[in-house]
Amino acid sequence: MQDKNLSNQQTKKKSKSLPSGIVIRLGKYVWTTLWQIMMSNLAPRNKSGEYIRPATQFRNSISTEAGNPYQPEAGRYRLYVGLGCPWAHRTLVVRSLKGLEDTIPVSIVSPSPNEGIWVINQEEEGCRTLPELYNLAQPSYKGRCTVPVLWDMQTKTIVNNESAEIIVMLNSQFNEFATNPTLDLYPEELREQIDRWNEKIYHAVNNGVYRCGFAQTQVAYDKACNELFATLDEIDAALEISRYLCGDRVTLADVRLFTTLFRFDIVYYGLFKCNRKRIQDYKNLGAYLRDLYQLPGVADTCDLESVKRDYYGNLFPLNPGGIIPCGPDVTSLLEPHHRESIGLGVSG
């Protein structure tokens, strides 16, 4: 009888240690409401709960065209990048592949978890934060302050903040200063094919992982997730017979895909709920990722710890505890990829 009474007392104590139903429902209501408010600011949505990425607003070009105020010059322009950001990472990859490190300096910005803005690691142009830099360029600016930023140090303004356009300029407009000027990542004869891949990959993969992670309804998430993995399956099949997306040479299409693939198993698989399959689980995509990572200079642009810190440590609505995972080990990206003979009529 004593054992039974003791067991009952332990059960009662255990029950009292759990929150009551009303506390659970209240907590869920409060958290869901706060989550929706924070997500609406972090990730604009449509009526279906789908994430809608705002358009960038600075869209000028650097070129040698007569009358263009932004002429190619060494040491005139600066890139502001966040090491965790895949869009900014594109610019670092092209800068490295082209050999423009001595031509275009880089300034690092880091996200502030409390302010919700990018902070410049070392004050420049009298600015401590990226919004201050944007307002220096355009005092009336009211839009989102994002990276990358291609900054003109001569006129103290933003030339461009659209990564897709910046990498085209880096590829073609600074060849006289580049240490690898013959590399053309956007050749005329492949542009139509590159553009087709870019359009498909941007919607379903580059932005698709965000559409999964920032979805605010189950329907929106399911749609984005299905499109993401259908496209990854399509890419994996294409890479069965082609070393790179457009044949046997690296192009801007590969660069744009690479920065998402590098982050996929590290962040998007778990934090963004893209967990149907890892990139390393794909027959061809995993080896393709290793192939790109091992190109000269590319690994130096990849900062695993910044990626984890910027996503897990700063996206509070997705990871309220702010706990940053200890893995994964990316040394596997240095393993042989065996893709040298793909598409050459020799078995890989």
pLDDT of residue 33: 55
CA distances from 187 to 184, 253, 303 (A): 6, 11, 29
Identify the active-site residue in 141, 186, 202, 210.
Answer: 210
The answer to which of 72-81, 137-146, 182-191, 260-269 has the lowest mean pLDDT is 137-146
Q: Does 345 have pLDDT greater than 60? A: no
Within-domain flag for 1: no
Q: Does the annotation mark 210 as catalytic?
A: yes
pLDDT of residue 50: 77
Structural domain that includes position 264: 188-334
CA distances from 309 to 267, 299, 312, 313 (A): 10, 18, 6, 5
Which of 182, 216, 234 terminates a domain? The answer is: 182
The 10s digit of each residue's pLDDT in 20-33 is: 777 777 666 555 55
Q: Does the annotation mark 145 as catalytic?
A: no
Q: Are 86 and 115 in the same domain?
A: yes
Q: Does 38 have pLDDT greater than 60? A: no
Average pLDDT over residues 88-102: 98
Spell out the SS3 assignment of 50-99: CECCCCCCCECCCCCCCCCCCCCCCCCEEEEECCCCHHHHHHHHHHHHHC
> Which CATH number belongs to the domain containing residue 250 in this structure?
1.20.1050.10
Which of 165, 182, 199 terminates a domain? The answer is: 182
CB 206 within 8 A of CB 254: no
CB 114 within 8 A of CB 124: no
Higher pLDDT: 110 or 114? It is 110
Q: Are 177 and 59 in the same domain?
A: yes
Identify the active-site residue in 77, 85, 288, 302.
Answer: 85
The alpha carbon dihedral of 285, 291, 292, 298 has a sign of positive
pLDDT of residue 346: 37
> Which CATH number belongs to the domain containing residue 50 in this structure?
3.40.30.10
